[in-house]
Amino acid sequence: MDGRVHDVCVLASMDGVPLRVCPLTLDEIAFRVDSYVVHVRELEALGVPRRTIHQRCRPGGPWRALLPGVVSLRNGPPTREDLRRAALAYAGPEAVLTGLDALEIAGLRRAPDPSGPVHVLVPSDRRRLGAGTVLAERTERVPLPVPGPWRAAPVVRSALDFSRRCRERDQVRAVLAEVVQTGRATVAELAAELRAGTSRGSALPRAVLQELADGVRSVAEAKARELVARTRLPAPLWNPRILDAAGREIARPDAWFDDVGLAWEIDSVEFHFSAADYERTVERHGRLSAHGILIVHSLPQTLRRRGAEVVEELRRAHAHAALRPRPPVRAVPVDS
């Protein structure tokens, strides 16, 4: 093989008169269509006969059919990027990626890795259905794609499109909490987008958004919230700002029992990847202790495996904190 696609012609013409005719190499085709995943229409526009496309996509051939009318100019197993490009080519120029693929492109770290069909949004008047590796969802609210190399929906829409179809509460918690925690959207903005879309599948994300509205900002904190709700302890504030008598911020503990001035920290390694992160955590705890605030520490795995022990520790700490004068501090709830 000389690397050229025979029967392929480039016609540079003036007044319809061919000036040059020659076969294109594989790289030249990929360069002209800007991808190794291409719609058959684009190949035909370059002069590739349909019979050539069909022959090259046969089993064992140098190309590979990915979706109806969409081929890869390589015959190896498609990558996730290949599947994304194929889904967009198949669904048409108005389609946008959403769900986990769009969230990965946006850089969310705690969303599950994309797998299964690529989720794309298409206009409601389209009649195209999914085809194995693509889930084409018709909608009257196709969003404008975010700037970048991919036609992808904004993070808020993508997160909720994923959440409506997910049945794993902790995965929904992880995604929506990261959206809020990283400042990509507020709880109110997520709630507005949820209301604007279909009600189908909205119960779980709506429940998780209520947790976020209460100040919860991680899966571990959500587990802790469920745990303390089964006790007779007063409901704590989640991630409030603790201010001293002069109004200066002391720290923002994960949970705060305001009646007795007790802080509860969920010591997850998820947010402490570096020595600097750990140092900031130690400094925060030092400031709390310096103001007479008692602190209870719990690990996420302890919450999951030995919840009764954690509850008992909280009860003892709360009772102990009630025996001494409450520290002269003020708690300001987290903004939604």
Q: What is the pLDDT of residue 268?
A: 64
Higher pLDDT residue, 98 or 280?
98
| Range of lowest pLDDT (16-20, 32-36, 299-303) | 16-20
Average pLDDT in the chain = 87
> How far is C-alpha 130 from the geometric centre of its chain's CA atoms?
22
Predicted local distance difference test score (pLDDT) of residue 280: 76
Q: For the residues 294-317, what does the mean pLDDT come to?
A: 93
pLDDT at 46: 84
Token pair in block for residue 307? 């919840």
Rounded Cα distance, 301 and 122, in Å: 42
The pTM (predicted TM-score) of the whole model is: 0.80
Q: What is the pLDDT of residue 11?
A: 40
pLDDT band at 1 (very low <50, low <70, confident <90, very high): very low
Please determine, for residue 22, whether its predicted confidence score (pLDDT) is greater than 90.
Answer: no
What's the pLDDT tens digit per position in 266-305? 876 554 444 566 677 788 888 999 999 999 999 989 998 9
Least confident of 26-40, 239-253, 301-315: 26-40
Q: What pLDDT, on a 0 to 100 scale, did the predictor assign at position 129? A: 64
The CATH architecture to which 219-332 belongs is 3-Layer(aba) Sandwich (3.40)
The answer to whether 39 and 69 are in contact (CB under 8 A) is yes
Q: Burial level of 220, CB count in 10 A (0-12/13-18/19+)?
A: buried
Percent of the chain with pLDDT over 90: 72
With cut-offs at 50, 70 and 90, classify the pLDDT of residue 15: very low
Task: Give pLDDT, residue 158.
Answer: 98
Name the more confident of 281 and 199.
199
**299: closest CA among 269, 256, 276?**
269
pLDDT digits (tens, 9 = 90+) for 214-242: 999 889 999 999 999 888 899 999 999 99
With a CB cutoff of 8 Å and minimum separation 6, the contacts of 231 are: 311, 314, 315
Query: Residue 9 above 50 pLDDT?
Result: no
Contacts of 292 (CB under 8 A, 6+ apart): 261, 324, 327
Mean pLDDT value across residues 196-202: 93
Residue 8: its pLDDT value, please?
45
CA–CA distance, 308 with 289 (Å, rounded to integer) = 26
When pLDDT is averaged across residues 65-82 and rounded to a whole number, the result is 94
Question: Across residues 71-95, what is the average pLDDT?
Answer: 94
- 49: tokens are 């006969």
Identify the pLDDT of residue 276: 62
- Bigger pLDDT: 267 or 117? 117
In the chain, the percentage of residues whose pLDDT exceeds 70 is: 86
**Could you tell me the residue ranges of all domains in the chain?**
4-77, 81-213, 219-332
